[in-house]
């Protein structure tokens, strides 16, 4: 595959008010040289006209190229020299990014880069895609492979941890390298796609293990494979009688939604039932293009569930998570998981403490529909699997009744239907707020619940 060919020729001044237009070396047959866009230089943005990132940075790129996922993929920004033409970087930042990329490379699609507000150094899209020095300075924290995926590999590329599910890692290539990636350890090996001999070994394993009914295709990003290559793998999985469901985990709808084209959707529709796990982390990522990509999947009969990673300074607040989940629901995407960021080397600066995630869920519960609330989970080290974490709504419990806190912090008694006592013996007083102790005394429930009713529900940034 031909790689990025951004050919920047101008130095960009450090300010959002400048526009740089770049030339792109077109790719072989699909984009003959006559279609190359010629650099025209640095221009002042017309006053009063807010430019989109596409208009501001890639205005010379024809719409047909912009909408072509292969063009986007070929023209990924993969070097600091390319990046500094498109984003304001101080000389210190530039030097730091050069240092980081010696260990952890960078790759950003033009589309995803166009979502960055260049005036905001803490822009959530920027923080997910542009390397920062903490990846190196805090790299002593964490592990290379916290989920012990290597140890759970039954054949190369296949992880079989849960009884009825298996994971197939088809490639380590991704269009955008997320700075919080759990498989960051793979980046240094260069891009690879698993050869067919290894795919066949994985399929053999699946054929022999009739307990597996759900196969997850992952990476890297499996959609970096061509549609025909992907279909050749999916159709062989589909031919295994005991496999009910195939799931695809991909960030393409977020970082390169153009990939979700008619050819791909037709193939997924043919090979269904297929479920899709997307990876939106911030409401700014749910653009009209991304929503349209999800809509194409849904119209092809592919349900889309979203898995968000909780990231410090990016989405660690009730307000941002609620906006994200509402935008996802509008796009008919179900918020499925909110993951605690794994203990991966080079990601410590993006990790929050676990209680932030719990308090975010607590801040959402009751204030929006349950459909908008994901399951907050921690993926345990050493392959221990996912553990869901919830705010504590059960203040006390015995075999007769429970003392429950609702979303407003009000405390209620609830008769346990298994109780041998009659209802009259356990009749509760009307709901009251902030008087847990008196209820505890009246109900003779365990005193361990004292003080929990007024737990801080406000947080919100780590």
What is the biggest distance separating any 2 CA atoms in the chain, rounded to whole angstroms? 87
CA 150 to chain centre: 22
Candidates 204, 219, 292; CA nearest to 256 is 292
Site for ligand SF4 in 120-179 (CB under 6 A): 174, 177-178
Question: 181 an active-site residue?
Answer: yes
CB of 178 to ligand SF4, least distance (A): 3
**What are φ and ψ of residue 162, in 5° steps?**
-95, 150
297: contact with ligand SF4 by CB under 6 A:
no
Site for ligand SF4 in 347-376 (CB under 6 A): none
Q: Is the peptide bond before 273 cis (omega within 30 degrees of 0)?
A: yes
End-to-end CA distance of the chain: 42
- C-beta of 105 vs 303, nearer to ligand SF4: 105
Q: Which residues of 322-349 are buried (b: 16+ CB within 10 A; e: fewer)?
A: bbbbbbbbebebebbbbbbbbbbbbbbb
Q: Which of 115, 127, 130, 181 binds ligand SF4 (CB under 6 A)?
A: 181
Span from 159-167, 218-226, 392-400, 405-413 in contact with ligand SF4 (CB under 6 A): 218-226
Q: Considering 181, 265, 325, 341, which one is annotated as catalytic?
A: 181
- C-beta of 24 vs 280, nearer to ligand SF4: 280
What is the C-alpha to C-alpha distance for residues 80 and 382, in angstroms, rounded to an integer?
35
Q: Which of 53, 142, 157, 219 binds ligand SF4 (CB under 6 A)?
A: 219
185: contact with ligand SF4 by CB under 6 A:
no
- C-beta of 224 vs 321, nearer to ligand SF4: 224
- C-beta of 170 vs 403, nearer to ligand SF4: 170
Q: Do 401 and 414 touch, CB atoms closer than 8 A?
A: yes
Triad 316, 279, 333: Cα angle to 5° = 100
- C-beta of 174 vs 203, nearer to ligand SF4: 174
Q: Which of 124, 131, 142, 220 binds ligand SF4 (CB under 6 A)?
A: 220
Question: 102 an active-site residue?
Answer: no
Question: 342 an active-site residue?
Answer: yes
What is the C-alpha to C-alpha distance for residues 252 and 93, in angstroms, rounded to an integer?
28
- C-beta of 181 vs 297, nearer to ligand SF4: 181
Question: 386 an active-site residue?
Answer: yes
CB of 106 to ligand SF4, least distance (A): 11
Question: 247 an active-site residue?
Answer: no
What is the C-alpha to C-alpha distance for residues 176 and 107, in angstroms, rounded to an integer?
5
Q: Considering 165, 213, 236, 270, which one is annotated as catalytic?
A: 165
Question: 24 an active-site residue?
Answer: no
- Would residue 157 be called left, alpha or beta, if left means φ above 0 and alpha means ψ between -120 and 50 degrees? left
Burial bucket for residue 23 (CB in 10 Å: 0-12, 13-18, 19+) = middle
Structure tokens at 359: 């308090």
Dihedral of CA atoms 161, 163, 164, 170 in degrees, nearest 10, equals 20
- C-beta of 65 vs 277, nearer to ligand SF4: 277
Question: 341 an active-site residue?
Answer: no
Site for ligand SF4 in 371-390 (CB under 6 A): none
Q: Considering 184, 194, 342, 359, which one is annotated as catalytic?
A: 342
Q: Which of 56, 126, 251, 349 binds ligand SF4 (CB under 6 A)?
A: 251
Q: Among the residues of 247-315, which ranges form H helices?
A: 252-255, 262-270, 288-299
What is the C-alpha to C-alpha distance for residues 243 and 216, in angstroms, rounded to an integer?
11
**Angle, nearest 10°, between helix axes 262-270 and 288-299?**
30
Measured CA to CA in angstroms, residue 311 lies from 250, 333, 338 at distances of: 18, 20, 10
Question: 132 an active-site residue?
Answer: no
Q: Considering 74, 161, 251, 259, which one is annotated as catalytic?
A: 161
CB of 377 to ligand SF4, least distance (A): 16
Q: Which of 183, 185, 296, 349 binds ligand SF4 (CB under 6 A)?
A: 183
CB of 180 to ligand SF4, least distance (A): 7
- C-beta of 74 vs 251, nearer to ligand SF4: 251
Catalytic residue numbers, as ranges: 161-162, 165, 174, 178, 181, 183, 342, 379, 386
Binding site for ligand SF4 (CB under 6 A): 174, 177-178, 181, 183, 219-221, 251
């Amino acid at each position: 595959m031909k790689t990025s060919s951004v050919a920047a020729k101008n130095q960009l001044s450090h300010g959002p008010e400048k526009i740089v237009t770049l030339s792109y070396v077109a790719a072989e047959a699909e984009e003959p040289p006559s279609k190359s866009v010629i650099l025209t230089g640095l221009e002042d943005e017309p006053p009063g006209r807010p430019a989109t990132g596409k208009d501001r940075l890639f205005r010379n790129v024809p719409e047909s190229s912009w909408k072509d996922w292969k063009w986007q993929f070929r023209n990924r920004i993969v070097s600091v020299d390319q990046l500094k033409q498109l984003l304001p970087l101080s000389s210190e930042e530039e030097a730091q990014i050069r240092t980081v990329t010696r260990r952890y490379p960078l790759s950003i699609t033009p589309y995803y880069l166009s979502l960055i507000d260049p005036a905001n150094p803490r822009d959530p899209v920027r923080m997910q895609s542009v390397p920062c020095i903490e990846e190196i300075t805090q790299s002593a924290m964490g592990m290379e492979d916290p989920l012990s995926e290597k140890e759970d590999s039954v054949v190369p590329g296949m992880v079989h941890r849960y009884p009825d599910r298996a994971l197939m890692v088809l490639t380590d290539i991704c269009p955008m390298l997320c700075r919080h990636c759990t498989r960051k350890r793979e980046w240094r090996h260069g891009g690879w796609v698993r050869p067919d001999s290894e795919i066949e070994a994985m399929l053999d394993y699946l054929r022999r293990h009739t307990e597996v009914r759900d196969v997850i295709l992952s990476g890297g990003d499996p959609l970096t494979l061509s549609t025909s290559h992907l279909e050749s793998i999916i159709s062989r999985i589909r031919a295994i009688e005991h496999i009910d469901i195939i799931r695809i985990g991909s960030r393409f709808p977020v970082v390169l939604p153009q990939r979700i084209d008619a050819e791909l959707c037709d193939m997924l529709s043919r090979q269904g039932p297929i479920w899709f796990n997307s990876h939106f982390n911030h409401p700014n990522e749910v653009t009209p293009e991304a929503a349209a990509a999800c809509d194409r999947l849904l119209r092809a009969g592919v349900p889309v569930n979203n898995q968000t990673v909780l990231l410090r300074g990016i989405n660690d607040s009730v307000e941002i998570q609620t906006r994200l989940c509402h935008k996802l629901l509008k796009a008919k995407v179900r918020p499925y998981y909110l993951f605690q960021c794994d203990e991966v080397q080079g990601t410590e600066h993006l990790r929050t403490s676990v209680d932030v995630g719990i308090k975010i869920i607590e801040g959402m519960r009751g204030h929006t529909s349950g459909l908008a609330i994901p399951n907050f989970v921690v993926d345990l080290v050493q392959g221990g699997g996912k553990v869901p974490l919830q705010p504590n709504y059960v203040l006390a419990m015995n075999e007769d009744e429970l003392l429950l806190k609702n979303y407003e912090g009000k405390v209620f008694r609830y008769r346990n239907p298994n109780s041998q006592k009659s209802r009259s013996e356990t009749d509760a007083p009307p709901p009251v707020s902030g008087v847990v102790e008196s209820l505890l005394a009246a109900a003779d429930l365990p005193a361990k619940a004292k003080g929990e009713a007024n737990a801080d529900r406000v947080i919100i940034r780590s």
